[in-house]
Amino acid sequence: MNFVKYSLLRLGILVVLFLLCMYLGLGLVFSGIAAVVAAFAICYIFFPKLHYAAGQDFHRWISRTPKPTNRVALEDQEIEDSYTDREARKDV
C-alpha cells in the first residue's frame, strides 16, 4: 500500500509541476523534464520514510523466495542454511 501512496504522491507532484511549467511557457519538453526531476527530488528529500516503506513493499512483491510463516518452517530453513554453509566450507 505504501508503494501505491508513494507513486500517487509522485504523480500528483509531477502533474502540478508540469502544469506550472507549461503555464510559465517553458515548452513541452523542458516542462516534462523539469517536472520529472523535481517530482523525484521532492519526494526523495521530503518523504524518506514513505520512500523506504515503498521500496520494502516493492521488494516484497518481486521477491522470488516465499517467506515461511510457521515456526517449523523457520527452523527447517535455518537447519538447511547451516548445512549448506557447512558443505560449502568443506569444498574450500
pLDDT of residue 68: 65
In this predicted model, what pLDDT tens digit does every residue of 52-76 receive, in sequence order?
989 888 888 887 776 667 888 888 8
In this predicted model, what pLDDT tens digit does every residue of 14-40 receive, in sequence order?
999 999 999 999 999 999 999 999 999
pLDDT of residue 11: 96
pLDDT of residue 27: 93
- Please tell me whether residue 20 adopts helix, strand or coil conformation: helix
pLDDT bucket at 46, cuts 50 / 70 / 90: very high
pLDDT of residue 23: 96
